[in-house]
Amino acid sequence: MKANQRTNNTQAKDNEVFCAGREAELQRLNEQLRNLAARLQSVQEEESKRIAGRLHDELGQALTALKMDVIWLLKRLTPADAELQEKAAGMKELIDRSIKTIRSLSTELHPSILDDLGLAAAMQWYGKEFEQRTGIRLQLAYPPAEAAVESAVANTVFRVFQAALTNAAQHAGASAVSVTVQTVDGRMDVTIRDNGRGISLEALQSARSIGLIQMRERVFSHNGTLEIQRADGGGTEIKIGIPLPLHSKSTTKAIVDLDVE
């Protein structure tokens, strides 16, 4: 009997050691994956920045030069060259559209406005562009006179904002999105809520929801928190909280209504 008990005890101890080993191993793998995700994200960010720069500088400039040439041609054509005039006018239109596409592509890849003017301006600018493109109404509440946010944090907040708006347009069937930014007790809280059909549990838990996983990883890399849920009264709500490196005191909100131009 005693011998049996001893065997059981030893087995239980062995199991404990085995479980602890497995847990440490899982933790190590988890950490490795986190590091890999962070690394991938920064590589992707760098690459996007590089391509955006080349698109804007090289292709954008070449098209602008081409447009000037077509304008030059148009000026030299007489009413007798009606057919040529029509052709050249068509070329100019196509070049204009291409310049616009390149601008929007390059900003989508890397919003240089974020580096130049900061988070609030970049969010307002992107919001306006989003409203014009999708017809979805956006209400953005950003604290007035917000102190400059560290660029890595600004980048993460902007990317989450961008991905959430894209999802609201692609999946939610929403007609309006509201975004609130607040800084309280050294933390930046951002809430993005749409009035669409509401995210499904399946989509929330799916390993294929790469956009959502990327959002989470970005926020976690700043030791932040992220919650995605169906909002009260329908729609989807995304809440993130990111600690700010410097302590900033609480601010009141200001509603900035974006007018579609």
107 binds Mg ion (CB under 5 A): no
Q: Which does 145 bind (CB under 5 to 8 A by kind): ligand ADP, Mg ion, none?
A: none
Near ligand ADP by CB under 6 A: residue from 154, 179, 190, 199: 199
Total Cβ atoms within 10 A of residue 151: 12
Contact 98, 130 (CB under 8 A): no
- Judged by beta carbon, residue 58 or residue 227, the one nearer ligand ADP is 227
Closest CA to 70 of 88, 95, 93: 88
**Chain centre distance of CA 14:** 47
d(C-alpha 168, C-alpha 149), whole Å: 26
Q: Please identify, among the stretches 93-101, 172-180, 181-189, 205-213, the one whose residues bind Mg ion according to the rule CB under 5 A.
A: 205-213
| Structural element, H or E, at residue 182 | strand 176-184
The residue among 88 and 157 lying less far from ligand ADP, judged by its C-beta, is 157
Contacts of 107 (CB under 8 A, 6+ apart): 52, 113, 126, 129
Q: Which does 210 bind (CB under 5 to 8 A by kind): Mg ion, ligand ADP, none?
A: ligand ADP
- Geometric angle at alpha carbon 256, from 230 and 233, rounded to 5°: 20
Q: Which residues pair with 138 in a beta bridge?
A: 177
211 lies in the site for Mg ion, by CB under 5 A = yes
Closest distance of CB 140 from ligand ADP, Å: 17
Partner in contact with 111, chosen from ligand ADP, Mg ion, none, beta carbon below 5 to 8 Å by kind: none
HSE at residue 49, side-chain half, CA atoms within 13 A, is 11
With 0-12 / 13-18 / 19 or more C-beta atoms within 10 angstroms meaning exposed / middle / buried, residue 188 is buried
Residue 203 Cβ vs ligand ADP, minimum distance, rounded to whole Å: 3
**Residue from 157, 168, 188, 219 binding ligand ADP (CB under 6 A):** 168
Q: In terms of CB distance, is 211 or 234 closer to Mg ion?
A: 211
The span from the CA of 121 to the CA of 129, in Å, is 12
Q: Who's near 84: CB < 8 A, 6+ residues apart?
A: 77
Pattern of binders to ligand ADP over 90-129, x per CB under 6 A?
----------------------------------------
Q: Is 167 in the site for Mg ion (CB under 5 A)?
A: yes
Given 88, 154, 172, 219, the residue binding ligand ADP (CB under 6 A):
172
Binding mask 138-167 toward ligand ADP (x if CB under 6 A, else -) reads -----------------------------x
Q: Applying CB under 6 A, which residues contact ligand ADP?
A: 167-168, 170-172, 194, 196-197, 199, 203, 209-212, 236
